[in-house]
Amino acid sequence: MFATEKTFIESKIKTYLQSLEIEHASIEFRQIPFSGEWGLAVPLFPLAAAEARAGKKINVPQRAQELAEGIKTYLGDDLGGFSHVEAVNGYLNLYFSTSTYAQRVIDTVLEQGAHYGCHPDRGETVMVEYSQPNTHKAFHVGHLRNVILGGSICRILECAGYEVIRANYLGDIGLHVIKWMWNYLKNHDGETPAEDHTHWMNQIYAEADRLFQVPENEAEVRALYARWNQRDPEILALWEKTRAWSLAGFDQIYNQLDEHFDRLYYESEVETAGAELVESLIASGLAQDERPEGPVIMDLDQILGTEGEYRVLVVLRSDSSSLYATKDLPLAIKKFEDYQLDKSIYVIDVRQSLYLKQIFKTLEIMGFEWADKLYHLAYELVNLPGNVTMASREGTVVLFDDLVREATRRAKAIVEEKNPELTETTKQEIGEAVALGAIKYTMLSRDNTKMVTFDWDAALDFNGQAAPYIQYAHVRAGSILRKAGQALPEPTVYPDELHKTEVDLIELMTRLPAEVYRAAEEYRPLIIASLSFEVARAFNDFYNSCQVLNAAPGIREFRLRLVAAAQQVLASCLRLLGIKAPSVM
């Protein structure tokens, strides 16, 4: 936004430094850390330190200050767009005039609209694999973090200029599916799904899991597994039918979460390729076949000459049935056959770090030159209070639909109280937007590597650092603009003096483009979550200290434009987090 000024001042500084015989100096610009004024800070420490290293006997901080003062004197009044300059503590601080800066920021935001903060196309394609649910099973709060994180990462990457392919990988085969079908045939034959597919599917699964403990039941399940392996048409048909039910259930969930996928991969579609791949690994001598006494393994440490680093990867069970690894290897290959990828990201919880490291290394050993483009985006688990882990087996899960229902109920009650004249449909809609926003924000506002302890009250706390607070700021901004009752004023000359809260708000808005870039590089939605909260807080501060509609002519127009720009930034941040920005609540 200030490239011209930057270039100008940089060349001036370089000219001056050359006169001191300091060549090849790299000038670094950063934000001035004091609030209330804008500008660029140039630390002179690196230059002074370079001189010290070159053998001059100097005190670095003192020399930095000397250089800063020298530059200040050299520049004189020729500041090219900056209003004043100071040399302090080893920094050269270049200040913009408040009104020029404010005007430029607000005009840029309004002009770029929803694109503000986003970057031009980089010509790179990234695949993000996330969600990965098992069909025929529950969808609980633990799975939720994965979808929310993956979805937000996709939006951030897109905004940062990447072409993104959203991939899902569904566990549609395996013992859990056979158990389910066995119970269905035995106890639920002919039944069709209840309205909430996933919930219904899970009830049958949970029951099957319990019954499986009885030995004769287990024998029956095994027998059914054998029929499956022989591709019994009746079983295949049942599998296809029930799988479709499960997928329809997931679609309901993804719709509620505002998520979609570009490409679905199924475990069932890579199983055969996996078996073939294992055979070729054995043939090439990379894998050791210990069947039937043992499994087929790859001793990665032995192959690489490392110790305790990569360990042993089991690629096929001793009974020749497949494992995760059997399918993940061909899947990785398939992805690169299907698309020209510059990066392939796996959003999978941290417990699988070693496993994914092994998979990536194995592909490298196999000679795939794209192996270095694979990346495991690890995130920590969701816990329940009292250090209880989510486990379907122990029944210690909070199911997705229960969570959303309860959250919506609470959110709707608040909406009802604040805004009783809304229609029932609108209340329901807003209640859901607020509820899902609160849940998503809870998951995204802590770092990927930090455990989220799921607490009903904390997740649904609509005050404080939470999504409803941000959504509410967005609504308030909209309300002012509505009341202004006219088209947004054209850009005008801005006031010379701004209120402190206006300055803070504008300052935060300028940070969006850089923060999007950083969030994309580091795969950290938290950065956007924090910024969105700060913008909302700054907006509320402004709202409480500055009148907009009753402000003097001139000021009023400026403030209306500021409100519109702030609303735009809030909307953009929320969009990046996958959180809806309602217009009333």
Binding flag, residue 478, RNA (CB under 7 A): yes
Collapsing DSSP to helix, strand or coil, 493 comes out as coil
Which tokens in the block code for residue 402? 């229960």
Work out whether 530 is an interface residue with RNA (CB under 7 A): yes
> Residue 317 or 405: which CB sits closer to RNA?
317
Among 19, 187, 284, 353, binds RNA (CB under 7 A): 353
Question: Residue 15, interface with RNA (CB under 7 A)?
Answer: no
Q: How far is the CB of 261 from RNA (least distance, A)?
A: 19
> Does 177 sit near RNA (CB under 7 A)?
no
By the rule CB under 7 A, 222 interacts with RNA: no
User: Pick from 142, 150, 171, 578: which binds RNA (CB under 7 A)?
Assistant: 171
Residues 80-109 that bind RNA (CB under 7 A): 88-91, 93
Distance, CA of 74 to CA of 266 (rounded, Å): 67
Give per-residue burial for 331-346: e unless 16+ CB within 10 Å, then b. bbbebbeebebebbbb
The H-assigned helical ranges of 167-308 are 175-187, 197-211, 215-229, 233-257, 267-283, 300-304
3-state secondary structure (DSSP) of residue 214: coil
Task: Tell me if 205 sits within 8 A of 138, measured CB to CB.
Answer: yes
Tell me which residue of 288, 277, 275 sits closest to 320, measured CA to CA: 275
Q: Which helix (H) or strand (E) holds 460?
A: none
Q: Which two tokens stand for residue 413?
A: 């009650």
**Whole-number minimum distance, CB 192 to RNA, in Å?**
27
131: closest CA among 234, 262, 27?
262
Contact by Cβ (8 Å): 9, 82: yes
227 binds RNA (CB under 7 A): no
Confirm if 361 and 304 have CB atoms less than 8 A apart: yes
Q: Is 34 helix (H, G, I), strand (E, B) or coil?
A: coil
User: Applying CB under 7 A, which part among 232-240, 271-279, 292-300, 505-513 lies near RNA?
Assistant: 292-300
Does residue 537 belong to the site contacting RNA (CB under 7 A)? yes
Tell me how far, at minimum, the Cβ of 189 lies from RNA, in Å.
26
Pick the closest to residue 277 from 317, 331, 228, 237 (CA basis): 331
**Binding of RNA at residue 404 (CB under 7 A)?**
no
Number of residues this chain uses to bind RNA (CB under 7 A): 85
Segment near RNA (CB under 7 A), from 117-125, 290-298, 337-345, 504-512?
290-298
User: Does 350 interact with RNA (rule: CB under 7 A)?
Assistant: yes
Q: Hey, how many other C-beta atoms are within 10 angstroms of the C-beta on 435?
A: 26
Q: What are phi and psi of 198, to 5 degrees?
A: -65, -40
- In the range 114-143, which residues lie near RNA by CB under 7 A? 134
Q: Which of 79, 323, 366, 398 binds RNA (CB under 7 A)?
A: 323
| Alpha-carbon span 478 to 431, nearest angstrom | 18
Closer CB to RNA, 324 or 456, in the complex = 324
Residue 165 phi, psi (nearest 5): -110, 115
Q: Does 480 bind RNA (CB under 7 A)?
A: yes
The binding track of 483-522 with respect to RNA, each residue x by CB under 7 A or -, is x----------------------------------x---x
The DSSP letter of residue 464 is S
Q: Pick from 149, 206, 527, 579: which binds RNA (CB under 7 A)?
A: 527
Which residue in 451, 481, 489, 511 binds RNA (CB under 7 A)? 451
Q: Which of 364, 529, 390 is nearest to 451 (CA)?
A: 390
Run of H or E residues at 352: none
Closest contact distance (angstroms) between CB of 183 and RNA is 18
Q: Least distance to RNA from the beta carbon of 233, Å?
A: 25
CB-nearer residue toward RNA: 94 or 404:
94
Does residue number 352 form part of the binding site for RNA (CB under 7 A)?
A: yes
Among 211, 459, 467, 548, binds RNA (CB under 7 A): 548
Cα separation, 440 vs 455, in Å, equals: 13
CA of residue 462 relative to chain centroid, distance: 22
Q: Are 329 and 274 in contact (CB under 8 A)?
A: yes
Task: Supply the Cα-derived Rg of the chain in whole angstroms.
Answer: 29
Pick from 355, 370, 375, 456: which binds RNA (CB under 7 A)? 355
Give min distance, CB of 449 to RNA, in A: 4
Residue among 543, 558, 573, 576 that touches RNA (CB under 7 A):
543
Candidates 40-48, 69-77, 402-410, 568-576: pick the segment binding RNA (CB under 7 A): 40-48
Does residue number 362 form part of the binding site for RNA (CB under 7 A)?
Answer: no
Does the protein bind RNA through residue 426 (CB under 7 A)? no
Of the candidate spans 192-200, 230-238, 243-251, 479-487, the one that interacts with RNA by CB under 7 A turns out to be 479-487
Among 174, 249, 330, 437, binds RNA (CB under 7 A): 174
* Nearer residue to RNA within complex by CB, 341 or 346: 346
**42-71 positions binding RNA, by CB under 7 A:** 43, 45-46, 48-49, 52-53, 60-61
Q: How far is the CB of 191 from RNA (least distance, A)?
A: 26
What are the strands of the beta sheet with 30-31, ordered from one edge? 30-31, 39-43, 91-96, 82-88
| Edge-to-edge strand list for the sheet holding 374-379 | 263-266, 163-170, 125-129, 343-349, 374-379
Hey, what are 147's tokens? 């979808």
**Integer CA distances (angstroms), 360 to 86, 166, 310, in order:** 52, 20, 11
428 belongs to the binding site for RNA (CB under 7 A) = no
Report the nearest approach of RNA to the CB of residue 81 (Å).
19
Residues 457-476, interacting with RNA (CB under 7 A): 463-465, 472, 475-476
Does the protein bind RNA through residue 449 (CB under 7 A)? Answer: yes
Kindly tell me which residue out of 41, 164, 506, 577 binds RNA, with binding defined by CB under 7 A.
Answer: 41
- For residue 234 the two structure tokens come to 């009746």
Span from 123-131, 194-202, 316-324, 568-576 in contact with RNA (CB under 7 A): 316-324
Cβ neighbours around 510 below 10 Å, total: 19
Shortest distance, CB of residue 302 to RNA, whole angstroms? 9
Distance CA 42, CA 69 (A): 12
